[in-house]
Chains A and B, each alone.
Chain A
């Protein structure tokens, strides 16, 4: 894993050399260091037993998501763009978890290698490093399925296209690469510099949200903004679905159609509300209102965090709606954060089931999804995740408030970090940044990002004493 990351850092040398901005040596040093540590670990544990235990796989996943951001801080620290470790850790975690919360109030002065590194961590992380590694290293022999459940918490284990995990992952990776390539070309053709196109695609296809401009997407032409919106929209769709779509297996799409419908419906309703609110309450022209509404709403729903305008200034109900939307998130099996459309759908359907039970106490009223009854295991799993998610958010908000952040900002930051949206409310929202947060608050936020990315359960289980008992 670390070798891969080291390799990525090294690849940031290309822009550094190309633009000649004097960050070559620090970047190279951190890249080589990471690479070597990875190599060392691999060599020293070469003969380690292949772990198949569930507990080990939980531990492994969490360890990866802690270690990678730690090494990801190296480029920031070694080039000196960030002096404090907490800042670097925050930025790095935010990248790897594809959150997009930043401590930089302005990013345009940063060396291009650092910019690429930020974009790259998101692109890399957005897909889930674990999935990536599993696809690339099929020979490792770890029980892949248990690792996969650890990461995706089993939200959608009905959704494997083929029986082989490895093929599945390779297909997904293929789609991811394809989308990236398509959108880089599309943006490039629309008149953007290749460098910008690559960065913007990386951060938006991964639902990350880091930007290379101070004012995020506002700099882009309107056409380009719509292209990015499309990229975000697709990044919120289940990758298996995209794969089946592009390979013309359209009959297989049916088993996720309701989730897709729900996702699109939420988007549509929210976007229409935002458009009208912008037009009527904030004196946007129709063109601007539509553009901002369309682009910003999808950015929120997929928890990307790219900004079409400075949302900090927007009408309060819109910002509140954004917080709620980011909690909902895109479809399961995509790069987005949040609860995911499927879970929300199951939660809503379950309420309906209970009302039906009341009306017809002797009938069997299963929760149905795509016309098939959902197994009770999945329902309980969804319920538990929902509850734990809510509790973690709640505790996160309390901790942030204890660290001296005011109530509005705490709510915004906790939810933005756990869902992976990025910009919070108040000073940390819109074009603002998290620089004003205390060290403790930054660490809490970083932790919340990891929690959110791993969907809470995997992380929390490590804190249960029984986990460590033999």
Chain B
């Protein structure tokens, strides 16, 4: 049986020869008593060449300095958008001269007609503070929200203060026909006239331009 196999595959003979050797090796290895474990800590390796890595100290953690980061951010933004603090004081709760709900306000816009109306809501939310103005244009009630710190808002002026302090925070009842003050264009026109009279001729031209437009509107009511 072995002969034909050997003729076909001549290297197979090595397997049968080496099988014995292999077996012998296993037997001798199991009999040995020389082997003992060397702990890794005792195991000596040549010391590796240490590369010096530069370690930088951690930057200071910002939360340690800032107790309320959102409040700080809001204050930063207000300082950026309203450097003089005029708007802040105009709508601050502590200022007795501040604009209140019920007052007639005029919002001058950059690149656009000014909008005037009764302030029926002041939404105080830091830098997002907005005011809701209501007016009637061509006998249609119009309400506009403006952000007081918006870069588009050039200025906010108090045209007329309300005679009595409003006993509500939001005068949404003014939307009802019974309480609606109607158009405030006449008051705004008078205010602009008086202001342009007080100021110099440089401002007069602007006031008259606005006034002429307003008078056209005023005739309709």
Do A and B associate with each other?
Answer: no
